[in-house]
Structure 1
Amino acid sequence: MESNQFIVIYRPLPKAGRIKVYIPFQLKNEREKFKKLNTSFYHPTQKLWSIVHTEENWKLLQAIFNGIFTIEESVKKSIIPSKNLNESSESILIALKQKLILKAFSQSTIKGYCSALRPFLSFFEARELKDLSKEDIESFVYHQISKYKISESAQNTLINAIKAYYEHVLGRERTIYDIQRPKKSLVLPNILSQEEIKAILASVENLKHRTVLMLIYSAGLRIS
């Protein structure tokens, strides 16, 4: 088999939540096997599959891909350096927070936007933010993705934070911030089998607790 037809299993870092796997396009059967595994997930921007990181899953992957895989070391993400902002940048964060509060944004959104905007303010500390072009902003977002490997979720939070500043604080038109975003990941739910559901319910000895779980499952109730 040619080297480019081998499946690559990336050895997860100690605290990694998932095991990343590269499956060449032509290996359809192997890809279908992986898709049937519990907790399997596809990351479109990385073109990688993943599964929850457990010792059992690590051994399982090597077993089902026996003879057609290689193992590569995962590269640890770079940590975005923390830097104290100057007085002007701190005032921008205060102004953004005030605007978002007045517009009834949630506290978690406000906190996320202010945190995401700090590297942006630090990066352009010597420039006037009102004079930045769309290309300047996209270059910064690309810099964060390529250097620090920020996640799809972090990319969107960063872009939304920048948009919020220009739109709500500076009062710019919405069309100015039409910058490239990562494609949204499509998450397919992993459904438990009837046997797995029976095992879960049977493991609960307390009748009241078992009744509650049966009600939740049969009615399709959500956490909220």
Structure 2
Amino acid sequence: MKTISLFAIAAIIIFLPSCITTLQPLATEDRMITDSRLTGTWNSAEGEMRIEPVLLSRTYRQAKITDAGGDSARMSRTYMLSYEKNGIHYNMFASFIQVGEHLFMDLRPAIIADAQREDDNNGYDFNPDYMPGYTIAKVEWKNDRQLAVQFADGAFVRRQLESGHLRLKHELDDLFGTCIISASSEELQKFVEKYAADERLFSNRNSVTLTRKG
């Protein structure tokens, strides 16, 4: 029986603390898209980030990850997003999907590594025995050199669920005080399409701006 990886949740929380975590991906294989403009090095307030196709990424070439999705076709349309924060190296899978008039991304962890540790056990790899957590963001091209990434506001989603104004399958984690969305990919796609223009869910307060380097 698979369990939710705490690393999967932690990696998302470190990237942006107020987002939501889902058990199913928003971007399904039949609707995943690619865009050559995504590949490159990007600057943000969080530091430098690298986006590249998974199969062409350094992480993949060094054979430190497996086909976590269990499907090479899906991996061929997935990107690796890599960045460093407080001496920790994070590598995350990023998949993109067009829903209505808007572009969305979901993220899930691949590898986390502590460069300050020199032993062989210096990080955590994605383990298929654990169920990965995903987070959702709306992506908007400002121009070919700048991306605005607005993460779904987890606090808003939880309030809507608790008040009964929103019906999405979910589980509450009392230990960590988190809300895990267990709805299907199809339900998630309908959810983001309905709320895509709602600033309570996607706002500049919960966003990261990426500017292409060089």
**TM value normalised by structure 1:** 0.21
Which protein has the larger Cα radius of gyration, Structure 1 or Structure 2?
1
Which has the larger share of strand? 2
Which has the larger share of helix? 1
